[in-house]
Amino acid sequence: MLEAEAPQIVNRGVRIPVRMQDALSIPFSMEAPRGVLESSYVCSVPLIRPSRLTTRDRGGVGKNLSEGWCINFAVGCTHACPFCYVDSIHKRFGRTRYGDAVLQDWGNYLLIPSNLPEAIEETPWHRWSGKEVMMSSTHDPYLPKLAAAARQILEHALPAGVRFCLQTRSFLVTRDFDLLAEYADLVRLQISIATLSEDLARKIEPRVPSPARRLEVLARASEAGLTTGVIVAPIFPACRARPDIQDDLRRIAESIAPFKPKFVYGETLHVRGENLRLTEEAIGERPRVSPGFDQRVARLFLEEMHRAGLSATWWPNH
């Protein structure tokens, strides 16, 4: 209702609410979605752990999302995106530690550390002063049940000089823009957009704010003086819900260009674990990830981003 009442701009068919009331007054539910099994575990200290989501010269996989560090402070993600392959990792390696909760369908389990407040206090944040840490790599840090903890982590880490790559699909991050703007030189905020097709987005991101809402996060972050980035992923093959890949990429590029994101990355749907089967169930057809698909989409992605005046990086599927 708030979106409908707010003034809007229209950018290539995507309605983006603007000048809405302060995010703190927007009534978000802080409960997990119905049907989600909530449980707990004991996390270890420190909360910051090594990560391979960094450049190759730092020993990573070639994704510039940190300097080789990350913070994951939950197990599971209630966004329930069927393309995500984190679930296969939890089911393969996590049952011994986390129990049978991880056997639930992806999106229907969320485990939060029972000792998280103590772990936040006991982590020696100053040890990572000047280092960039990703938050988070296996779940969205701004899920409704996690948003308060995400702020607590930032309140401890930012004054100690820890730099952050915040990766989210959630609108709840806007509630922390007061804190992030205070430490703007230590933060880059990145959002993920897989498509601007509302039909496809509803199917592959069932509990995620709409693409228009995520574009509004980008707009607000830009107004707040934050360094921003966009991950265009996963880019799906042509399907009934979104038949024209290039048109979708062009719309994304034209929609994000006004906000001048410093970082723009792209990658296709990668086949991992059960994600192809789950995606087929979600969209009603099997995604056609054919040989050469990754290279073809890479060309389209770079062409459309450059057409819009954006500097972009492609992450190849290895």
> What are the tens digits of pLDDT across the range 183-206?
999 999 999 999 999 999 999 999
The average confidence (pLDDT) of the chain is 90
Work out the pLDDT band at 13, boundaries 50, 70, 90: very low
Q: How far is CA 118 from CA 41, 176, 212, in A?
A: 13, 22, 37
Q: Are 145 and 78 in contact (CB under 8 A)?
A: yes
Residue type, 309: G
The identity of residue 103, as a single letter, is L
11 vs 274, residue with greater confidence:
274
Report the alpha-carbon distance of residue 56 to residue 9 in Å, rounded: 40
Beta bridge partners of 109: 37
> Is residue 234 reached through a cis peptide bond, with omega within 30 degrees of 0 on the bond before it?
yes
Residue 35 pLDDT grade (very low, low, confident, very high; cuts 50, 70, 90)? confident
Q: What is the pLDDT of residue 23?
A: 37
Specify whether the CB–CB gap between 191 and 169 falls below 8 A: yes
CB-CB contact of 40 with 113 (8 Å): yes
The 10s digit of each residue's pLDDT in 200-251 is 999 999 999 999 999 999 999 999 999 999 999 999 999 999 999 999 999 9
Write down all domains in the chain, each with its CATH number in brackets: 33-168 (no CATH), 191-318 (3.30.750.200)
Task: State the pTM of this model.
Answer: 0.88
Cα 169 from Cα 191, distance rounded (Å): 6
What tens digit of pLDDT does each residue of 101-111 get? 999 999 999 99
Q: How far apart are the first and last CA of the chain?
A: 43
Binning pLDDT at 50, 70 and 90, where does residue 26 land?
very low
pLDDT band at residue 56, thresholds of 50, 70 and 90? very high
| Closest listed residue to residue 83, CA positions, set 233, 259, 184 | 233
Beta strands in the chain (DSSP E): 8-11, 14-17, 37-41, 48-50, 69-71, 109-113, 132-135, 163-168, 187-193, 227-235, 263-268, 313-314
Tell me phi and psi for residue 70, to 5 degrees. -150, 165
| Strand-strand pairing, 263-268 and 37-41 | unpaired
Q: Out of 24-28, 36-40, 79-83, 149-153, pick the least confident.
A: 24-28
Q: Say yes or no to pLDDT of 21 above 50.
A: no
Closest CA to 20 of 35, 37, 4, 42: 4
- Tell whether the model's pLDDT for residue 134 goes beyond 70: yes
The token pair that represents 5 in the structure block: 């009442």
Output the pLDDT for position 19. 35
